Structure 1
Amino acid sequence: MASRDEVECWLTDMDGVLVHENQALPGAPELIRQWQDQGTEFLVLTNNSIFTPRDLSARLRWSGLEVPEERIWTSALATADFCRSQMPGGSAFVIGEAGMTTALHEAGFIMTETAPDYVVVGETRNYSFEAITKAVRLILGGARFIVTNPDATGPSAEGVLPATGAIAAMIEKATGKQPYVVGKPNPMMFRSAMNRIGAHSENTGMIGDRMDTDVQAGIEAGLHTVLVMTGISDQAEIDRYPFRPSEVISGVHELLHSEPYEVEI
């Protein structure tokens, strides 16, 4: 896609784009209202699979953002959507939280520890050696290995925490089986999100703060990519990669009733 004026639908990351440390970033509440007032189709995306869209909608409201739950697309929803497309009415053993189990239940899946079709590993703060051992044995017994997202660490007030990717790596090492990762940077997450709102790659934009997930997946999905500098990326981070976003802006406030333009990097 050549320019922003062709964008009719938007996908946007959450942390570092709309919110930071549970506070709305400048322009984020106004941008959500602008999209709603204009009837623009959009979804807020997150690789976090712990929470349901209803939970996340409430958390965003506390941050000062009014985002309806139907406008939130998580890696848990994308994973459940993928599993349903592959094996409707299947079964799964899940290492994860309510966001993941709820999504699979709503997709028609049965949760079981007996010969499941899938072992699904998502984000949780309650990993147990017993559950990891069971996952290893089920995968060795023939269950397909699915991971919601590849993030090896996550943030906390006390510092970094081991996240989905780290636990998945342990299971992969023990089984010799490589998981299929549904969330970013897999462009499948974007494609499932676009299917949700009836969007097409040629008229959809993606706003993110990470080159290695948001921008990479957006480019691979054929989207107009917008990198904001309110998250983890800086010019040095941009220079590390052989690809470039369509635009680089200081924050989402620049998208408010603005004229389209391109940024040279």
Structure 2
Amino acid sequence: MSERKPIESWLTDMDGVLIHEGVPIPGAEEFIKRLKDKDRPFLVLTNNSIYTPRDLQARLRRMGLDVPVENIWTSALATAQFLDDQRPGGTAYAIGEAGLTTALHDIGYVLTDHDPDYVVLGETRTYSFEAMTKAVRLINAGARFIATNPDETGPSTEGPLPATGSVAALITRATGKQPYFAGKPNPLMMRTGLNRLGAHSESSAMIGDRMDTDVLAGMEAGLRTFLVLTGSTGKDQVENYPFRPSEVVTSIADIVDLV
């Protein structure tokens, strides 16, 4: 087996890797600083489509993490990139927050509930029965079904919240139509991120806290993968999966010296 090339570009998940419940994980600040000091290409990834990159930049800065807006890559941006490649200048009925609607506006999409090309489902804290009913009827009438990510739950200080994957399942049961998920674990999100950096998979790495999204997407995109144990997946759960990360480390602090 040939040796891997040195890591030149880094992709890292945000929640569970850099921050946890609004607090930076020890080592995250040093990791970001090292990347910037060494001028390494990098992206901070999130499947959450609620916030725009500028929103996330401000939230991270309040936590002491200085991540430039151009180094943030969300499932909403990956979804918009996919739609722009597939059907430029199209139309969509979007269920989501500013992160999704802004991304769609930025590629020139018209948001409408009249015969749209796509129904695009993203994350929101205010899913409404009316919006879901409209989505079902539009999909039954021929609109193509897209979702930003398959995450069934999302974190909160009170406990798990229903997320995009759960609502997508409801719409699927009502329509018989499966959505195309643009976010992790779809390697599309990794590949579009690498293209954004001008990077190659052979010399890039993905850091994540979930085996079923971060590690899987990184592996399928051909990246070296690091699983940190500060988020969703515990060390005892790694063997439950038919695939393995390249390395398992305690936290992001263990990766700083690899940059």
TM-score (norm 2): 0.97
**1:243 corresponding residue in structure 2:** 243
User: What amino acid is the match of 2:109?
Assistant: F
Q: Which runs of 5+ in 1 are unaligned?
A: 260-265
Alignment partners' CA distance in 2, 1:218 and 1:26: 23
**1:262 corresponding residue in structure 2:** none
Matched, 1:230 2:233: no
Alignment partners' CA distance in 2, 1:169 and 1:155: 19
User: What amino acid is the match of 1:14?
Assistant: M
Q: CA deviation at 1:235?
A: 2.1
Q: Deviations over 1:99-138 (max 9, x none)?
A: 0000000011010110100000000011111111110111
Equivalent residues in 2 for 1:67-86 (5 A)? 67-86=67-86
Q: CA deviation at 1:159?
A: 2.0
SS of the residue corresponding to residue 115 of structure 2 reads coil
User: What amino acid is the match of 1:188?
Assistant: L
SS of the residue corresponding to residue 257 of structure 1 reads helix
2:145/2:179 contact within 8 Å kept: yes
Alignment partners' CA distance in 2, 1:97 and 1:246: 35
Alignment partners' CA distance in 2, 1:36 and 1:241: 34
Q: Which runs of 5+ in 2 are unaligned?
A: none
User: What amino acid is the match of 1:46?
Assistant: T
Q: CA deviation at 1:4?
A: 7.1
1:23/1:64 contact within 8 Å kept: no
Q: Deviations over 1:63-82 (max 9, x none)?
A: 11000111000000000000
Q: CA deviation at 1:256?
A: 2.0
Q: Deviations over 1:34-58 (max 9, x none)?
A: 1111110000000000000000011
2:94/2:119 contact within 8 Å kept: yes
Q: Deviations over 1:16-36 (max 9, x none)?
A: 100111111111111111111
Q: Percent identity at matched positions?
A: 63
**2:35 corresponding residue in structure 1:** 35
Alignment partners' CA distance in 2, 1:36 and 1:5: 21
User: What amino acid is the match of 1:236?
Assistant: D
Q: CA deviation at 1:178?
A: 0.7
Alignment partners' CA distance in 1, 2:2 and 2:211: 19
SS of the residue corresponding to residue 11 of structure 1 reads strand
Q: Deviations over 1:217-241 (max 9, x none)?
A: 1111000001111112222210101
Q: CA deviation at 1:200?
A: 1.1
Q: What root-mean-square deviation, in Å, do the aligned CA atoms of Structure 1 and Structure 2 show?
A: 1.4
Q: Rate the CA distance shift 1:2–1:204 in 2: closer, same or farther, 3 A.
A: farther
**2:148 corresponding residue in structure 1:** 148
Matched, 1:208 2:208: yes
Equivalent residues in 2 for 1:12-23 (5 A)? 12-23=12-23
Alignment: residue pair count? 259
Q: CA deviation at 1:257?
A: 2.6
Q: Which moved more, 1:109-118 or 1:150-159?
A: 150-159
1:96/1:124 contact within 8 Å kept: yes
SS of the residue corresponding to residue 94 of structure 1 reads strand
2:4/2:203 contact within 8 Å kept: no
Alignment partners' CA distance in 2, 1:200 and 1:52: 26
